[in-house]
Amino acid sequence: MIPVLDAREIESDPDHFAHEIGRACREVGFFLLEGHEIDEQLIAAVFEQGDGFFAQSDEAKAPLSILKNPHNRGWAALGSERLDSESGQVDRKEAFNVGFDLASDDPRVVAGEPFRGVNVWPDLPMFEETLLSYYDAVWRLGVRVHGGLARDLGLEPGYFDPFFDAPMATLRLLSYPAGTGVAGEIGAGAHTDYGSITLLMTDGEAGLQVRPRGGDWIDVPHKPGAFVVNIGDCLMRWSNDIYVSNPHRVLPPARPRRSIAFFLDPNPDALITALPGTGTPKYTPVTGADYLRSRLDATYERESDA
């Protein structure tokens, strides 16, 4: 049901890769991606840094609260999110977000452009360096994957590149405590992702499920070292509904669960409108920043815009 793709084929067999990714994006909206060549030691180091951060007390993490940050960066406390807006279930997870890294004197930061703030960092050895190295590696991989998507849609392989040269991509460390068995408990409520694609690395603990259109919930399999990749709402809108962004959720895990999500949103000023050759537009054009803001505002009740 959920296919396994080989990232090496993006260059070695681009037509086959485009065919396979196109089929996955039209059907379940999920696939596993192996052969990505991102260093296993770097991945392990990110998990280790996440463990160190989440092991701190809430008091130590509170100054980095995402609720105080207008740029979607910092710490989201346990129970601070409700991804399933219909049920109102509170997610049993905590997270830490890193965005596109800019200096405080960068003109985009000084001008107050949307999602152009500075990252916030805990005082932990090698935390910043490790996460930024991983951010850059997965960002490059995500752009390569878009080359296969472009080819599948009949576009030039580099079509998407200008839309992702300074993206609103978010690297998110996630920590789920073991479930308690209380009825109605959820790790992450049913939702669709907001951006173009998500590249997720998990620790192998079960819990992630997807619900294909017209079907019931199915488990997303784990393949050691492979990314779980899924289509987000922005790409579904961009493709004029040719691709499908399906709901997914995380059940309360039997043991503590960790994952590393990379949400690849386009540049803030990217105009999201029906791609060439996808038919009569079904959606009103919107910038990447306006679309992401509309989705995030529904997830958090922010303490401050400062």
Give pLDDT tens digits for 160-183. 999 999 999 999 999 999 999 998
Q: Which residues of 128-138 are buried (b: 16+ CB within 10 A; e: fewer)?
A: bebbeebbebb
pLDDT above 90: residue 70: no
* Chain centroid, CA 11 distance in Å: 24
Structure tokens at 213: 């259109």
Identify the band that residue 31 occupies on the pLDDT scale cut at 50, 70 and 90: very high
pLDDT above 90: residue 297: no
Contact indicator for 73, 65 with CB cutoff of 8 Å: no
What is the C-alpha separation between 202 and 127, in angstroms, rounded? 19
Residue with tokens 């296969």: 148
Predicted local confidence at residue 18, as pLDDT: 98
Residue with tokens 């960066």: 73
3-state secondary structure the chain: CCCEEECCHHHHCHHHHHHHHHHHHHCCCEEEEECCCCCHHHHHHHHHHHHHHHCCCHHHHHHHEHHHCCCCCEEECCCCCCCCCCCCCCECCEEEEECCCCCCCCHHHHCCCCCCCCCCCCCCCCHHHHHHHHHHHHHHHHHHHHHHHHHHCCCCCCCCHHHHCCCCCEEEEEEECCCCCCCCCECEEEECCCCCEEEEEECCCCCEEECCCCCCCEECCCCCCCEEEEECHHHHHHCCCCCCCCCEEECCCCCCEEEEEEEECCCCCCEECCCCCCCCCCCCCEEHHHHHHHHHCCCCCCCCCC
Predicted local confidence at residue 138, as pLDDT: 98
pLDDT above 90: residue 97: yes
> How far is the CA of 153 from the CAs of 123, 157, 181, 183, 239, in angstroms?
45, 10, 45, 44, 8
Read off the pLDDT of each residue in 226-232 and give the average, rounded to a whole number: 98
Predicted local confidence at residue 84, as pLDDT: 84
* Chain centroid, CA 174 distance in Å: 11
Predicted local confidence at residue 303, as pLDDT: 34
CB atoms within 10 A of CB 183: 4
The pLDDT mean for the chain works out to 94
pLDDT above 60: residue 295: yes
pLDDT above 80: residue 296: no
Each residue's pLDDT tens digit, 109-151: 999 988 899 999 999 999 999 999 999 999 999 999 999 999 9
Residues 6+ apart with CB under 8 A from 232: 192, 193, 194, 195, 196, 197, 198, 245, 263, 265
What is the C-alpha separation between 136 and 142, in angstroms, rounded? 10
Say whether pTM exceeds 0.85.
Answer: yes
Task: For residue 114, give the nearest of 263, 264, 293 by alpha carbon.
Answer: 293
Predicted local confidence at residue 71, as pLDDT: 87
Predicted local confidence at residue 14, as pLDDT: 98
For residues 31 and 83, the model is more confident at: 31
Task: For residue 268, give the nearest of 135, 142, 168 by alpha carbon.
Answer: 168
Predicted local confidence at residue 298, as pLDDT: 60
What is the C-alpha separation between 194 and 238, in angstroms, rounded? 12
Write the CATH number of the domain with boundaries 4-296.
2.60.120.330
pLDDT above 60: residue 256: yes
pLDDT above 70: residue 197: yes
The domain limits of the chain are: 4-296
φ, ψ of residue 95 to 5 degrees: the values are: -150, 165
pLDDT above 70: residue 299: no
